[in-house]
Structure 1
């Protein structure tokens, strides 16, 4: 009878102990899932919840070292560390799982997330090597690893390598919905829009992850815009906006919509749309929206004051933006441009001509306004033929027609004009040298 009592007590203790570490692991898993949930809509993880997951998982390792959840706990701790940016600790946990539990059902998971950790800390080549191993050994993470490898290649502008990887896959893999999306994405990045559509139109967007689905609508909309299919572009953009209202990067779709309006020459409506989106609280992609607003004012409306205001907003407020360096150049260029525009009406003729030439230079070199710069250089050459700025402008025109307009005949014509109008000068000598370079290049081609 006593033996039975001891047996029952022992059973109860074992049962309670099992329940205890199961509950501990269950809570750790719950905190992890809630902590990474914002990633589904492009948001940031909840670090506090991931810290709780680490704490609960660590108790499994500390108090239940022989339980069946030890390898689960190691993986959970590693992933939590990865998402909170503690990469060294994450790699250590994944390594422990692989070393001490080589036959664990989570070993492929550990290898895959180790690759992601190296990628997050900037070691993309190490990550690619690990993902290549995953492709060869894991069924569960094979497609995800292919996706990571392709994205690493595209990040380095290596579309050919990405295309080769996809072409090396089996026919079965190529029919996978995610691989079809990747195939279209690679063709899109390479600029082969019609080929991209052949793959993307077969993709079931609703079966992609939320982030991949969002990217799908971005890519489709961009292709339709670039191929001037405005009807389909509008449909794609509006559908994406409707589906992804909760996505953190949803405003990039509004940016595409502004681009569509600009393509339809509805510049004021584009500005109105951008201002409406920017007025919303907690707006995402703010720097891109502001920059494009400045671009529309500058390029299409020729309102340099308002363009300057937009670019300056990035320089003053969005200092961490990737667009900061470009915005800073725009601010300096437009400030100088506006100042010179006011000075170009000066009664001092020499100063007037000099400022006009500088305006042409700024248009071309800083603002990328090729046609505007051509018009200004031509005006100087025609209106002030006796000044040094006439041959200088002709040289600039020869260069622009060759480089930007791909018009060799016009480029050569300007060089000949310099030789004719300014004989026995340094300008004619330089023009003759340029013509000889052209002739030498033609002889080589022959």
Structure 2
């Protein structure tokens, strides 16, 4: 009787131990993913990297110490997703394929197919990705996975400049999406209409994105895009008001250079060339040695060349671009 009792205790202890490791892995992955959602740049932040690495370490520990536990396929999908968000597609693909090959009855199988299709999109293997996703599209999926299938197809069509098809897929994703995903889908639909030069439709979807935004970056992106679209529609005063309102928000301090460049563009388009020059010159002083000041110098060069016919000042400003920020896309213009 004592032996049975001890065996039961050991079993409970082991179960608790590997669940604890899995819980920690999931906890760190969720922290990393939250940081990813709040990241408004193309670069991975230290917070993201650290949390995804901790999720990887915990997941690998679970597989190493408890290779027969019921959480091994959970650990493999966390590994794949963590490596994906770290940009390591090779390791991401390896872990997703391990899960697919070793756990053919796993509850994560359809999700893994979606992730492998996303990697194929990243690798520009569009035919493979499209076939995989379309095969899933008509299967029995949860609402969340159905939204993922539609949005992944949308991303594929966006990458291949099939903008109308992308709109159709992201609209499909909206039917199944959870509230926290809707703003992003609306925003991407707006980007498609922008690429199609259907600016009024793009603005409408940006406004929907703003209404459903769940984070500060989402709200900023939507408002900034609305300002840009007002500019494209020729509503320069409305655009300037939107950009000036963004400048009043202290949380946009690091984006002030970018916002002011848009204001200068609007001023030039509405024939207030002197106002544009003043705004651009302010940027060169306030954001020295930054990409914003380099762009401001380039735009000043163009204004002095095309509008003022002051070629000496044009040459001076063009010459400052590369010195100001050598990595600027305008450096060799």
User: In which range does the TM-score fall when normalised by the shorter chain?
Assistant: 0.7 to 0.9
1:293, distance to aligned residue in structure 2 (A): 4.8
1:48, distance to aligned residue in structure 2 (A): 4.3
Structure 1 residue aligned with 2:100, among 82, 93, 98?
Answer: 98
Give the aligned partner of residue 269 of structure 1.
Answer: 278
2: distance between equivalents of 1:171 and 1:27? Answer: 32
**CA offsets 1:206-245 (integer angstroms, 9 cap, x no match):** 4356655444233311110111223432343345556693
Structure 2 residue aligned with 1:14, among 1, 11, 15?
Answer: 11
Contact 1:118 1:124 in 2 (8 A): yes
Contact 1:244 1:250 in 2 (8 A): no
SS in 2 for 1:140: helix
2: distance between equivalents of 1:234 and 1:146? Answer: 36
Contact 1:258 1:273 in 2 (8 A): no
Q: State the number of aligned residues.
A: 320
How has the CA–CA distance of structure 1 residues 158 and 292 changed in structure 2, closer, same or farther, with 3 Å as cutoff?
Answer: farther
Give the aligned partner of residue 186 of structure 1.
Answer: 192
1:62, distance to aligned residue in structure 2 (A): 1.5
Give the aligned partner of residue 112 of structure 1.
Answer: 114
Give the aligned partner of residue 150 of structure 2.
Answer: 146
**CA offsets 1:354-401 (integer angstroms, 9 cap, x no match):** xxxxxxxxxxxxxxxxxxxxxxxxxxxxxxxxxxxxxxxxxxxxxxxx
Asked if 1:220 corresponds to 2:226, the answer is: yes
2: distance between equivalents of 1:63 and 1:131? Answer: 35
TM-score by length of 1: 0.59
Stretches of structure 2 lacking an aligned partner (at least 5 in a row): none
Asked if 1:195 corresponds to 2:180, the answer is: no
1:152, distance to aligned residue in structure 2 (A): 3.8
Structure 1 residue aligned with 2:83, among 78, 81, 84?
Answer: 81
Contact 2:163 2:195 in 1 (8 A): yes
| Higher relative contact order, chain-length normalized (CA < 8 Å, sep 6+) | 2
User: Which stretch has the larger CA shift, 171-180 or 24-33?
Assistant: 171-180
2: distance between equivalents of 1:81 and 1:35? Answer: 11
1:11, distance to aligned residue in structure 2 (A): 3.0
Structure 1 residue aligned with 2:242, among 231, 236, 243?
Answer: 236
1: distance between equivalents of 2:209 and 2:55? Answer: 36
1:196, distance to aligned residue in structure 2 (A): 2.9
Residue pairs, 1:292-371, within 5 angstroms: 292-315=299-322, 318=325, 320-321=327-328, 323=329, 327-328=331-332, 330=333
2: distance between equivalents of 1:284 and 1:27? Answer: 40
Stretches of structure 1 lacking an aligned partner (at least 5 in a row): 331-446
2: distance between equivalents of 1:54 and 1:63? Answer: 14
* Higher Rg of the two aligned structures: 1
